[in-house]
Every structure is written in C-alpha cells, then in structure tokens.
Amino acid sequence: MAKIEEKIFDIVKPTIQAMGYELVGIEYHASGKFSTLRIYIDIDRGINLDDCEKVSKQVSDLLDIDDPITGQYSLEVSSPGLERPLFTMEHYHRFLGHDVKIKLYRAIEGRRKFNGTIFSVSDASDIVELATELGNVEIDFKLIEKANLVPDF
C-alpha cells in the first residue's frame, strides 16, 4: 500500500471493525478534483447497499476530522465483488489454489502482467508463487501493484 492508503487504513480500521466488518483494503486514485478513495469491506453474510451507506457515513466523518487527503475526492465504499482485490499476504494465504490476475510495478522475466493459480505463499520471504501456463513464477509481494481473483463460473 502507498503511504496515503496506509494512513487512511490506520484511521478507519478500528471503526470499521467495531461495526462488525472486515476492512479488505483501500485504493486511492489521485486525479485532481476527480480523485477517488475506494474502501472495500466484507462480512460473512455478504455486503449490501445499507452496509456501504453505514460505513461510508462513519468513514466520511472520520476523514473530515483527520483530513488525510488534501483537495477534493469521491469516497466509495464497496464490497470486494467477484473479482476480489488482494491487498495483503493473508489474502494470498486465504485464496491459495484460486486463479488470479496480477500486475507488477516492474517487469519480471520481461512481463508485468501474470495470470495463474496461487501455488504457494511464503511469509518468511514475502513471495507469492503462481502456477502459470509458462510454469511457476515467484513474485516478490512488494512488486505487486494490483491483484484480483479471477471469478470461477
């Protein structure tokens, strides 16, 4: 996570957890007055619109007090959805054996995008290993820019 996302995560996590939700992750896309702050939440029974509205109100109040983002932005509270984003090493453990799409900050073996199955996860070395059509690929967690589950229909 980038620094702004980490700061916001620390601000909102206790409140979101106290409300009974899991804070899955945060994305911030800076784009002037069209910036977007997206907060993903989850709960065992699934997320509905009322959940998003309740969390949005609480988070909005917290962010108005702490004001970690300068300028205007839109706040979106969402479920992780079918193409669930993966933000932490714990997420990779939880979805071991599932198919993912991963985009890297810089290329490995001449590629920045990989599709495959999460084959293994090593917390000791922060390595996620994917089984791909080209063979197994070891990816340093710090190189992952974005990762999403691939829905299985």
45-85 pLDDT, tens digit per residue, is 999 999 999 999 999 999 999 888 888 899 999 999 999 99
Could you tell me if residue 83 is inside a domain?
Answer: no
- SS3 for 3? helix
Question: Can you spell out the DSSP letters for 94-124?
Answer: HTTT-EEEEEEEEEETTEEEEEEEEEEEETT
Average pLDDT estimate for 16-31: 96
Q: Is the pTM value of this prediction over 0.85?
A: yes
Domain range for 67 is 3-78
Count of domains for the chain = 2
DSSP state of 31: B
In this structure, the answer to whether residues 70 and 94 fall within a common structural domain is no
More confident residue, 3 or 137: 137
Q: Which of 55, 78, 101 is the last residue of a domain?
A: 78
If asked whether residues 73 and 9 sit together in one domain, one would say yes
Same domain, 97 and 40: no
84 in a domain, yes or no? no
Q: Give residue 108's Cα distance to chain centre.
A: 22
**CA 98 centroid distance within chain:** 16
Where does the pLDDT of residue 132 fall: very low under 50, low under 70, confident under 90, or very high at 90 and above? very high
Interatomic CA distance for residues 111 and 144, integer angstroms: 12
12 and 72 co-located in one domain: yes
Residue 14 falls inside a structural domain = yes
- pLDDT value, residue 1: 55
Instruction: Kindly state whether residues 66 and 131 are assigned to the same domain.
Output: no
